[in-house]
Chain A
């Protein structure tokens, strides 16, 4: 989902630039805040060049709210930690009763859905045959082939040769999905949650599917369309036809045979229309053409299609100062969920430059003529442009400096024409600048429906194209702030724009009529359903434990009390350039002073002063000290300003060549008032503690002999760069020790190939630490789109299972959850007539969940601004006997454990760690970090 909708140009730029930004802050920065608000505006659907699958909230670093210090010390749990170890199944929440009582409210929701058979089979089917995905088989079943209940599962298992189905421990599922809506409501406060989904009521009884044959055969698809169209009096005006399959909202009396005349030669062609299926109106087969119908509705409302989404340029907000326009718009999608058909609608924005690309190039030229071409390439390649003359968006892949509009190209007719003549003749546009270079777009390899090859290359004129997204983001953070402010929507504004769209559809007879042709009626309001807020988690420090405040933030406690374990830093080196000597001394002193408050002991460093701040000087000095001293625990470098190359050089030395934990501090963050510096130093100290293997805080983990694994993939943006998998596994019962691995793999290969190796290594290490192997393994896999779920199931999971065989007699139970940051889903809560963000810990596991997979939505973090975007978890495998509720609670617990932020984050900590690791290795190191560092969070 994320990959698909994700990133408008704006988002794309944002992702890339912010990614860079984040790296600069990486070391010094304060703890990562949870994603504070959503950045609307995903659109064009083009993959960002530097897309990091697991990138945290896209807006994450736009604002850096200081961690709120408002946490009140709870009266609870000073003193000993109440942490009774419990086995799975006896989670301290009385699951049994909960399972027994279905929620009435929820049941009502589903009564409407009129899908009695579907969802029920899903979960239950899974219960019967364990290591099989809930999805596919269930979908087949519901289409009326009950005889194959178990066979596909066995077949699937059979395809894993090393693990014959007979050896699978077939155990009953304690928490099977009984039926949509009758799922257990477990402990936790019920909360009414609004979603950015609109229920679609199907008025028609059925949709009828027909097979259309032409005799003699008609090859040309458009000809078939035309021939069938001539028989509207038979089929009616409302049709959906793809060339051979025809959907109608009406039942034809019997097989229809009509005759038509082929225009070309007058030959008679017989058309036979034969019914093949009666479909529920909410059938998956109908969804594609329902979406086509809905696009028509949007067009009737005069919304403009740009990329995949619809915008209203006439309602633009114009940011004159930056020559930008912000277009409001919507992303719309009809999907089938557990609770029936829904329109998923999101209010989004698109940022477009009101200048042509040519003008933009001029302004680059004015700034510095000498680096003009390089700078243009840097700023333009990868951005998405829209054209003046048609309704298309193109990603710029290159710039052809040798071509001009006076060059020619070949039309489809074979005619040669210059760009100048072409635009003049076709669009009446006179090209003003005849010496401009041309922009190159290379379409992805894709076959058109007719089987024709697409063009290899599209050349565009800078004068006729406009950039979308935010330019020069790197330099001008004020622009970013201004633009973001314009786009920011509070939950109530977001809600208002959704209801506005619904009202417009309702008020337009044409628009609602268009839907009604297929018997579709939109609910007048967004969908409200019952969610539940998971119980608060207790945060455990060394001597105390407490329930955090409602904001779920514990910065105050963290900086006042001792962490679970602290590493004494006695042998460490501080490297700084001569002109920052005062700052370096001050830093060392402040660290010594402040370390007590965070429970650490930091000794005097060996001060290494550099004569200048060139990279070579740093590198030589660091190499020297690390080569001669093997006792060094930590290397701390002060660098002036944001210097990516210097940062990379230091990190490469300290992570790959002579592995030692390292911390780089940008001198700018150490300037300012004393109070600010103290808090920066405190954060740095905490981070150093993590990097050296210390533990900051934990939560109660009742599951015994558990290993939690987080995985994420980083894709390099330039071609040929290898993808990097970050793999992080827990090593102790309280999940505060992590073991990490990095694997490089071939370009754009999403799915982890070398998993087996990583897992075997992690298990080995676990054994060494615990003298036993974990009995349960829970994997959180980030960066997988819906379409790739099957691949995870068929490819990654077998790899991991194969790995278990390398250990004697070892068959751990396993759960695999795919983590999807659902950029297009929103949760609202209504408090005192006001739309607000629901509390962190809000879960929804029915109605809007997938009808194919076991999934749930969890909002773990508190969003400070904007709307609340939950994370979706898809459980693709569960042999661990973990009920849905257990998985939810475990997930929520893990969202508390990211040590760079004293609060909850959007995704489980192991995912976030894996993400950071993959990013560092892929973007900076380009090599696997040293083996000595694998048992600590050196990448934080």
Chain B
């Protein structure tokens, strides 16, 4: 359970910086950065520290934690909830974080289809019987693209003073490198994975022969993704209990997309309107006022396009215009802004999203602003 606190911070002689548990998590983060998995599961997630770090990886869309102990997960699980700030600028990617209570010795269909499954300091906590079922559940049933397994290297224990038999009272065993590697190679062979060995926590100079403090095996599946049909043949009885589930606000959710589009459309239209009015005023006053000063003032507002919106491709027919007190900003003009375009995709969607939310001209082709009303406001 408290696997995070094994070595640090009380080791007299050997102290890792950053702490060893952070090095293990960083190792996973680097791996995520390299392989860009969309669905990631952490088996034995304990207090969810790794999951909290991983939720910031922008490639991940599904993040799942599994632990045998629900109460340890519950302690900090609220940290996996979306932050207030997430609602202000919803991300483009969707993200769902789920926590399950259950055993790695049991199969549950919710664990299918993952790209990366991590088992950080997990296997040494397993009873013999559980350890026996573990490869079949993870490699045979879940069969993710990548599996990462880390476990203490018992050869290193000699350098850790004051330790009893194992580094943690709950450890059922601690393997040396040969033991871990033979188990890993055998597992990889049986389930058609390749495996590479590495570790974190370098031994002190002169003691290199003991190897890393934590040994890590990275397993990569050799056969292609099992097809959906193949998976559906697998047993579908759910045995895990869902403890927590959070769906992050994202632009994939129409509610948030709509808001984002609307906000962008109104913002863009207001900018266009302002610069149009500024220009008209400048032209008007050029005749009876000091033209130099006016020109100068006008300059920055036109720049605003290029500053934060990207230069639009404006055709003649899409020019905004003024009629009496009303400014018309054609939707096509607004749609030509890259940010708007990217959000909506198609012009039809743009029209659909803003329907009823902004004042449009009678033919529905332009956003209307009443300049008189605006003046009243100020």
- Contacting residues, chain A, for B10 (C-beta < 8 A): 263-265
Query: What are 13 pairs between A and B in contact, CB < 8 Å?
Result: A264-B10, A264-B162, A266-B164, A304-B83, A318-B262, A320-B357, A323-B263, A354-B263, A362-B304, A362-B308, A387-B85, A427-B56, A428-B58
The answer on a CB contact under 8 Å between A263 and B5 is: yes
From the candidates A237, A263, A323, name the one contacting B71 in the complex (CB within 8 A): A237
The answer on a CB contact under 8 Å between B5 and A306 is: no
Given contact pairs A302-B81, A388-B85, A476 touches B377 in the complex (Cβ within 8 A) = yes
Cα(A237)–Cα(B71), bound, Å: 10
- Give A732-743 as 1s and 0s: 1 = Cβ < 8 Å from B's Cβ atoms: 000000000000
- Contacting residues, chain A, for B308 (C-beta < 8 A): 359, 362
From the candidates B12, B57, B162, B249, name the one contacting A314 in the complex (CB within 8 A): B249
Task: Answer yes or no: B17 CB below 8 A from chain A CBs.
Answer: yes
Given contact pairs A264-B10, A476-B378, A386 touches B89 in the complex (Cβ within 8 A) = no
B interface residues with partner A (beta carbon < 8 Å): 2, 5, 10, 12, 17-18, 56-58, 71, 78, 81-89, 162-164, 249, 259, 262-263, 266-267, 300-301, 304, 307-308, 357, 376-378
Distance (whole angstroms) from the CB of B200 to the closest CB of chain A: 16
Given contact pairs A265-B162, A362-B307, A428-B57, A369 touches B85 in the complex (Cβ within 8 A) = no
The answer on a CB contact under 8 Å between A313 and B88 is: yes
Q: Which of B5, B56, B82, B301 has the most CB of A within 10 A?
A: B56
From the candidates B17, B87, B163, name the one contacting A313 in the complex (CB within 8 A): B87
- Contacting residues, chain A, for B164 (C-beta < 8 A): 266
From the candidates A325, A427, A475, A476, name the one contacting B88 in the complex (CB within 8 A): A325
- Give A648-673 as 1s and 0s: 1 = Cβ < 8 Å from B's Cβ atoms: 00000000000000000000000000
The answer on a CB contact under 8 Å between A304 and B81 is: yes
- Contacting residues, chain A, for B81 (C-beta < 8 A): 299, 302, 304
Q: What 5 A-B pairs come out closest when comparing CB atoms? A: A264-B10, A313-B87, A388-B85, A428-B56, A478-B377
**Who on chain B is nearest to A296 by CB?**
B78
- Contacting residues, chain B, for A356 (C-beta < 8 A): 89
Given contact pairs A264-B10, A316-B87, A320-B357, A475 touches B162 in the complex (Cβ within 8 A) = no
**Who on chain A is nearest to B247 by CB?**
A314
Cα(A171)–Cα(B48), bound, Å: 65
From the candidates B56, B84, B162, name the one contacting A304 in the complex (CB within 8 A): B84
- Contacting residues, chain B, for A647 (C-beta < 8 A): none
The answer on a CB contact under 8 Å between A306 and B84 is: yes
Given contact pairs A263-B10, A366-B301, A413-B18, A311 touches B377 in the complex (Cβ within 8 A) = no
Distance (whole angstroms) from the CB of B76 to the closest CB of chain A: 11
- Contacting residues, chain A, for B162 (C-beta < 8 A): 264-266
**Who on chain A is nearest to B87 by CB?**
A313
From the candidates B17, B57, B88, B301, name the one contacting A388 in the complex (CB within 8 A): B88
Distance (whole angstroms) from the CB of A424 to the closest CB of chain B: 10
* Chain A interface size range: 35 or more
- Give A349-388 as 1s and 0s: 1 = Cβ < 8 Å from B's Cβ atoms: 0001110100100100110010000000000000000111
Cα(A321)–Cα(B58), bound, Å: 30
- Contacting residues, chain A, for B301 (C-beta < 8 A): 366
**Who on chain B is nearest to A369 by CB?**
B300
Cα(A362)–Cα(B300), bound, Å: 11
Distance (whole angstroms) from the CB of B54 to the closest CB of chain A: 9
Distance (whole angstroms) from the CB of A450 to the closest CB of chain B: 14
From the candidates B71, B88, B307, name the one contacting A354 in the complex (CB within 8 A): B88
Q: Which of B17, B56, B83 has the most CB of A within 10 A?
A: B83
The answer on a CB contact under 8 Å between B267 and A323 is: yes
Cα(A299)–Cα(B2), bound, Å: 24
Given contact pairs A354-B263, A476-B377, A314 touches B87 in the complex (Cβ within 8 A) = yes
**Who on chain B is nearest to A266 by CB?**
B162
Please report whether the interface of chain A is mostly helix, strand, loop or mixed according to DSSP: mixed
**Who on chain B is nearest to A267 by CB?**
B162
The answer on a CB contact under 8 Å between B85 and A466 is: yes
**Who on chain B is nearest to A366 by CB?**
B304
The answer on a CB contact under 8 Å between B266 and A352 is: no
**Who on chain B is nearest to A318 by CB?**
B259
Distance (whole angstroms) from the CB of A216 to the closest CB of chain B: 15
The answer on a CB contact under 8 Å between A388 and B89 is: yes
Task: Answer yes or no: A390 CB below 8 A from chain B CBs.
Answer: yes
Cα(A311)–Cα(B84), bound, Å: 8
- A residues 251-267 touching B (CB-CB < 8 Å): 263-266
The answer on a CB contact under 8 Å between A320 and B266 is: yes
Distance (whole angstroms) from the CB of B27 to the closest CB of chain A: 14
Distance (whole angstroms) from the CB of B260 to the closest CB of chain A: 9
Distance (whole angstroms) from the CB of A396 to the closest CB of chain B: 16
Distance (whole angstroms) from the CB of A142 to the closest CB of chain B: 36
Cα(A427)–Cα(B89), bound, Å: 15
**Who on chain B is nearest to A393 by CB?**
B84
Cα(A266)–Cα(B267), bound, Å: 64
Distance (whole angstroms) from the CB of A193 to the closest CB of chain B: 34
Given contact pairs A237-B71, A359-B308, A320 touches B83 in the complex (Cβ within 8 A) = no
Additional pairs, 13, CB under 8 Å, beyond known A313-B86, A388-B85:
A226-B2, A263-B5, A263-B10, A265-B162, A314-B87, A318-B262, A320-B259, A354-B263, A362-B307, A366-B301, A366-B304, A387-B85, A389-B83
Cα(A370)–Cα(B89), bound, Å: 30
Given contact pairs A266-B162, A428-B57, A386 touches B85 in the complex (Cβ within 8 A) = yes
- Give A885-898 as 1s and 0s: 1 = Cβ < 8 Å from B's Cβ atoms: 00000000000000
Distance (whole angstroms) from the CB of A269 to the closest CB of chain B: 13
Q: Which of A237, A320, A362, A475 has the most CB of B within 10 A?
A: A320
The answer on a CB contact under 8 Å between B83 and A388 is: yes
- Contacting residues, chain B, for A321 (C-beta < 8 A): 266
Cα(A354)–Cα(B263), bound, Å: 9
- Contacting residues, chain B, for A237 (C-beta < 8 A): 71
Given contact pairs A321-B266, A352-B88, A391 touches B83 in the complex (Cβ within 8 A) = yes
**Who on chain A is nearest to B33 by CB?**
A428
- Contacting residues, chain B, for A365 (C-beta < 8 A): 300
Distance (whole angstroms) from the CB of B293 to the closest CB of chain A: 12
The answer on a CB contact under 8 Å between A320 and B263 is: yes
Task: Answer yes or no: A426 CB below 8 A from chain B CBs.
Answer: yes
Cα(A387)–Cα(B89), bound, Å: 11
- Contacting residues, chain A, for B263 (C-beta < 8 A): 318, 320, 323, 354
Distance (whole angstroms) from the CB of A474 to the closest CB of chain B: 11
Distance (whole angstroms) from the CB of B166 to the closest CB of chain A: 12
Given contact pairs A359-B308, A390-B83, A320 touches B262 in the complex (Cβ within 8 A) = yes
Distance (whole angstroms) from the CB of B302 to the closest CB of chain A: 10
**Who on chain B is nearest to A329 by CB?**
B84
- Contacting residues, chain B, for A314 (C-beta < 8 A): 87, 249
- Contacting residues, chain B, for A458 (C-beta < 8 A): none
Q: Which of A311, A321, A426, A475 has the most CB of B within 10 A?
A: A321
Cα(A451)–Cα(B266), bound, Å: 50
The answer on a CB contact under 8 Å between A389 and B85 is: yes
**Who on chain A is nearest to B58 by CB?**
A428
- Contacting residues, chain A, for B2 (C-beta < 8 A): 226
Cα(A386)–Cα(B85), bound, Å: 7
Cα(A233)–Cα(B128), bound, Å: 26
